[in-house]
Amino acid sequence: MSTITDAAKPLRTAMVDRVKAVGHASTPAVEEAMRIVPRHEFVPEASIEDAYADIAVITKSASDGSPLSCASAPTIVAMMLDQLQVEPGNRILEIGAGTGYNAALLTQLTGPGGAVTTVDIDPEVTAGARRGLDETGNDHVNVITRDGSLGAAENAPYDRIIFTVGAWDLTPAFWEQLAPDGRLVVPLRWRGQTRSVAFVRDGDALVSDSMELCGFVPMIGQEGERSGAIDSEDLVTLYWDADQTIDATKLSGVLDQSKETIWSKVLVGPQDPFDSIWLRITGRDSRICRISADRAAVDAGLCTPAIPIRSPALAEDDSLAYLVFRKIEEGTFELGAIGHGPNGRHLAGQLCHEIEAWNHDRNARPTVRVYLAATARSAHSFDQAMTHQTIEKTASRLVVTVS
């Protein structure tokens, strides 16, 4: 046995133990697969320690340094496999081949009676995945170089479809290729935030049954998100969807106007997640978007979002409000909002109202239904008395419903 194999065993054991400690790899099948498949053999350029650390291993970068392909952090991998609920004998389609590691895990889960197909648009990525799969005895996995938005009709229908790239839209291929009772797990982006959503098929609808915060390399060719700087030095940027009426030019210089700060009296601890405030608002307010502030903007006090690179904001015409917090005492923080512009105080108040509503049931999650954009009945397939927002993509339509 090689020295590297000897070293890998305890590191792999420790990796899976960490994953389970945070609540993932929750089934014996996912746990066993992660204990069996040698992650280090799929990331040969990483150190053995990095291969089993809870980090994403970047395997290809763009000229500006932004990642183009990677092996996702083990906790994210396990989380999504839990959501996918693979059963022995399943036929599985993976969009985003990565290093081939996830396809190897899927092969373990579906067993000899199943089949795994993985698709990626980048021939360098598929070549690397093919190599890693062949070297680990997974030569039966079908690796295809193709635009992932097309899926792989030649091996359809699929019991399970999983995306390991971030998607802004879902194309007709996935309705055509997913079995009638199938599950689809995708890091889906809407209103500036990304969630790994597990969908179950219900006729012409995909209906969410779990959602987890995540971040992924975006899928190539989906350009539905807009962005624009709102200050003269390009330090603060808004991100919004194509169907929203937000105009960054109208907001240019808004941060130089006097600010209105409103505090919600809602308290959180340092380990208390509050990202679902943003998720909830996507079903209640069409003005929700993402604000991102560079460190220089934060240090100068120009813009101080709760999480500088990724916080929810409400934007309307020439006014803006965004989520903030302040320290009350050691280990306790109060959530609030800062508004700018003529309607800034009102928007800040609206954001605080949403914080208070979230505080009444912090575990509540909206339901997301996805339809093909041409499906007329989507507007009538849920209780109209419930609060909802319809989000128009290019090929699909999201209906986010808040109870």
Q: State the DSSP string of 319-372.
A: EEEEEEEEEEETTEEEEEEEEESTTHHHHHHHHHHHHHHHHH-TT---EEEEEE
Residue 320, strand partner residues: 315, 340
* Per-residue confidence (pLDDT) for residue 121, from 0 to 100: 95
Q: Is 69 a catalytic residue?
A: no
Q: How many CA atoms lie within 13 A of 277 on its CB side?
A: 30
Helix/strand/coil for 143: strand
* Per-residue confidence (pLDDT) for residue 69, from 0 to 100: 77
Q: Which CATH superfamily includes the segment(s) 3-213?
A: Vaccinia Virus protein VP39 (3.40.50.150)
CA pair distance 119, 115, nearest whole angstrom: 14
Q: Are 103 and 116 in contact (CB under 8 A)?
A: yes
Place of tokens 């969807």: 241
* Per-residue confidence (pLDDT) for residue 333, from 0 to 100: 97
pTM listed for this prediction: 0.93
CA pair distance 15, 35, nearest whole angstrom: 9
CA pair distance 378, 96, nearest whole angstrom: 29
Q: 268-284, pLDDT tens digit by residue?
A: 999 999 999 999 999 99
Distance (Å) of CA 76 to CA 11, 71, 84, 233: 18, 10, 12, 35
* Per-residue confidence (pLDDT) for residue 385, from 0 to 100: 56
Residue 260, strand partner residues: 339
Distance (Å) of CA 133 to CA 77, 257, 262: 17, 57, 54
Catalytic residue among 63, 69, 72, 210: 72
Q: Which residues of 203-214 are buried (b: 16+ CB within 10 A; e: fewer)?
A: eebbbbebbbbb
* Per-residue confidence (pLDDT) for residue 93, from 0 to 100: 98
| Average pLDDT, 10 consecutive residues per value, the chain (403 residues) | 67 97 96 96 93 88 72 94 98 96 98 97 96 96 97 98 96 97 97 97 95 86 90 97 96 96 97 95 97 98 97 98 96 97 98 97 95 68 71 96 90
Lookup: tokens for 308: 């500088």
* Per-residue confidence (pLDDT) for residue 380, from 0 to 100: 46
Helix/strand/coil for 287: coil
Q: Which residues contact 104 (CB under 8 A, 6 or more apart)?
A: 37, 42, 132, 133, 136, 138, 141
Q: Are 248 and 238 in contact (CB under 8 A)?
A: yes
